[in-house]
Structures are given as structure tokens and as C-alpha cells.
Structure 1
């Protein structure tokens, strides 16, 4: 998670190289080689993550009418293996891999968004909603089956979660009459939070991964001045 100049980035159909770190597809897994430093205390972070897709999502979605922002859930269900040398930890489990890309910075297109993903017994459920920079709302409610087919579904009712330590509002959706709860917050930043939540979706009790992003907060000069302390900026 180091900001680097464009000359430190290269890519082709199977590789993405960013400074000393790299991602490549070996035919079975997305292999992520990590050679980074932590922040604000600079200690080495070294290791490898392997993402084995159980299915591939071939459909991308526009998040705005002009198509300036796109989202592609590449591997909605995957097996992930993490093997870190520094620090010396490893684990494996179920996971997910997606990509946001577009033609302008996210903060130019959105005010906020809330996203969550849950592995159901047979399907994957993804909920994605927020407010665009022009004040217009957007929302997606999707289910993917074991064959990789996406289906638009009616979004469940809105449910409010507890606010973060930085007082960011968190919203999700759940079956009628069910109140989701935050189990653990892994990232609690001034403009972003990622958490595990217990919820009920489409008749199933599930543990979902949830994120809330405040781009209005991200644009704040105070927050911008804090970023280099959490995300180092390298010259190469």
C-alpha cells in the first residue's frame, strides 16, 4: 500500500507490477507477491497471497450513467491462502476479489457508498449502494450462482449499523425484521471502515464483509494531510 509514480507500474494480460510488489496469474491462482513497508512505523511486510477462484464473474457494472466508474466482481467466491514471512503468520479461508476502475478519481464521482458481500449456502450475495457526487443515489443487489450467473434481485430493507470510531455512518440491508450487528471492525479510518457483520439475507443467517466509504470526508484537507502517514509515497 505504497503510492508510487507511474514509471514504477507495468502490466500485461497476466501481470501487474507496482514497485517491488507484483500480481500475476499462474493459470490456477492469482498470485500476489508483497514487498512493502508498514506505516506509520516502517517495518518490512513480506509474503505471498494466492487467490484460487471457485468461479469467475465475467460481467462488469457501471456505477454512474456516463460509465466513468465501473466495478467488476472478478472472483465472487474464492479460496485464499496467505503466507507471510514478515510478520511470520499464515492462514487460509474463503474470500473474494473485485476491481474498481474508471476515468476519474472516486472522490470526483461519489459522496459515499456502502458495500457488502456474503457467501450464502449456494450463491454469493453482493449489496452495493451510495450517493453520487451530484446527489443521485445508486444501488445494486445481486446474487451469483455456482455457474457464475448474476441475477438482479430486489434489495432487502435498509438497516443502520453502529457508527465507526471516526463517526462514519454505516448502512446495510437485511431481511425484514432483522437487525444486523457489527462483529469486528478490521479497518477504522477517518474516511473508510471495513468490518465483519452478522446479518440475515434471503432467508439465510450469514456473516458478511461490509465496507463504508465517505468520499466527502476523504476530500477534506485535514484527511488529505494525514494520508502520507498511513500510505507512504515512494519516488520509485
Structure 2
């Protein structure tokens, strides 16, 4: 993923293009066309990363949720359940599996609105369950659990107890929710000074589930040393 100037971004009703990569709706599926270079540290040869990911929503949710009192930050879970098809040309990989599609939008930067947040989502027998919690920049807390049925209809669910997780390798705090107050990290996919994304074993909606969990610390993200390090992992193209 490369940071690019505004002149490299185009948006139309069904398409968002950022440099050579683009996301577009075709029929009932979202097609994600990836045209990038990897960013392996200490390696001057950045391999080409090229391929297509297709997201097939099993249901669409029309409801957005404000994450702050001033509604400067909006979260929209468009497809709480989906099927995905991954077909990569470089490297040569392909697979199919379960998926999810959401997005955040706002009128201010995330570090101006939040200190930290934790998020998790799991497929369940009857739909999906999403837990969202954190601390805003003003010190106020928020926490909620939202259940989506197989038609994408959202309703508030009882918030399960906190299940504390081991810190990431960068000593970042991780937290999830589980009805038996126990969750286990199966794999950590992304581990950075300010962000971690993991696969969990948890217990939600009365069943054992495999959940995806993320923790984001915007205080660390905004620190000068992390801002100095970011271009080495996320290249910046200038106008």
C-alpha cells in the first residue's frame, strides 16, 4: 500500500482508484484490483504485487454508526458476511474463504478523535457479531456489540465480558470479548508498533467461533518516531 497525492485518486459512483490499484463494484461483487510493490525491510528489490480479490456479500447492511458524539467518525459495516475469491498473479497464490467488508469515514484524522480502539468480528450460525470499543481523545469510553442476521439487519447485542489477550510483540495492548471471558490468539497476521491484527478462538452467541481482532493505538501512531518510520513500510509517492 502506497501513499499517493490527491491527483492520483479518482472516485466515481462505483469505483475508487488510487494510483494503479482500484476498487469497483461489478454486478453483486466488489472487485479489488491490486497493483503494488512489497515493502520488505532491508531489501532494495521490491517485488511486484498484482492480483484481484473478489468480495461477494451474502447480505448488505444499509446502516452506519457514529463512533463519537459529534459524528465526525462514521463506521459502516456494509457486508457483515461475505465470500471471497483471491487470485494473485504475483506472487502466484489463490484461495477462497469467508470474508467481511466495512469502511470508516470522517471529517478529522483518527488520531484527533481516538486514543485507542479494539475491534473484533466473527461469523456465527445465524449471521455475524461485531464488537467495537475504545477510548476517544477526550477520555470518554465507548463499547458496543452488534449482531447482524443473515439478511444484514443489525441489532444491539449484550456486550460479552472482556477477554484480555497477550500483548503483541511490540508490547501493544490487545483486547477482545468472549462469553466465557477466555479467548486465545491463534495467529497474528499484522504486528506493528501501533497496530495488531490477529485470528482468535473465542465464544460468542453461544458457540465456539473463530474471530478476527484488531487493536489500534493512535497515541503511538502519532508519535514522531513512528511517523519517521512509516515511509519505510508504506512508500510515499509525491506529486
Shorter-chain TM-score tier? over 0.9
Cα distance between partner residues in 1 of 2:197 and 2:238: 29
Aligned residue for 1:108, secondary structure, equals helix
Instruction: After superposition, give the CA deviation of every residue in 1:18-51 in whole Å (9 maximum; x if it has no partner).
Output: 0000111011210011100111441110000000
Report whether the alignment pairs 1:117 with 2:134: no
- Is 1:197–2:200 an aligned residue pair? yes
For 2:238 and 2:224, the matched residues in 1 are separated by 23
Q: CA deviation at 1:235?
A: 2.5
Counterpart residue number, 1:21: 21
The runs of 5 or more residues in structure 1 that have no matched partner are: none
Normalising by structure 2, we get a TM-score of 0.96
Deviation at 1:95, TM superposition (A): 0.4
CA RMSD of superposed structures (Å)? 0.9
SS state of the match for residue 167, structure 1?
coil
Q: List alignment gaps of at least 5 residues for structure 2.
A: none
Q: Which residue of 2 aligns with 1:145?
A: 149
Task: Report deviation, 1:140.
Answer: 1.8
**Quick check: 2:79–2:152 contact (8 Å CA) kept in 1?**
no
1:207 is the counterpart of 2:195: no
Instruction: Select the residue among 94, 101, 113 that pairs with 2:98.
Output: 94
Q: How does 1:124-203 map to 2 (within 5 A)?
A: 124-176=128-180, 178-203=181-206
The aligned residue for residue 220 of structure 2 is: 217
Quick check: 1:6 aligned with 2:6? yes
* Offset, 1:168: 0.5
Please give the TM-score of this superposition, normalised by the length of structure 1: 0.98
**Corresponding residue for residue 55 of structure 2:** 51
Provide, for residues 189-234 of structure 1, a one-character-per-residue CA deviation record: whole Å limited to 9, x for no partner.
1100000000001211000000000001101111111100000101
Q: Distance in 2 between matches of 1:146 and 1:97?
A: 15
- Tell me, in whole angstroms, the C-alpha distance in 2 between the residues paired with 1:15 and 1:179: 41
Deviation of 1:147 after TM superposition, in Å, equals 1.7
Equivalenced residues, count: 235
Distance across 1 between alignment mates of 2:198 and 2:29: 26
Q: After the TM superposition, which segments of 4 or more aligned residues of structure 1 sit over 2 Å from their partners?
A: none
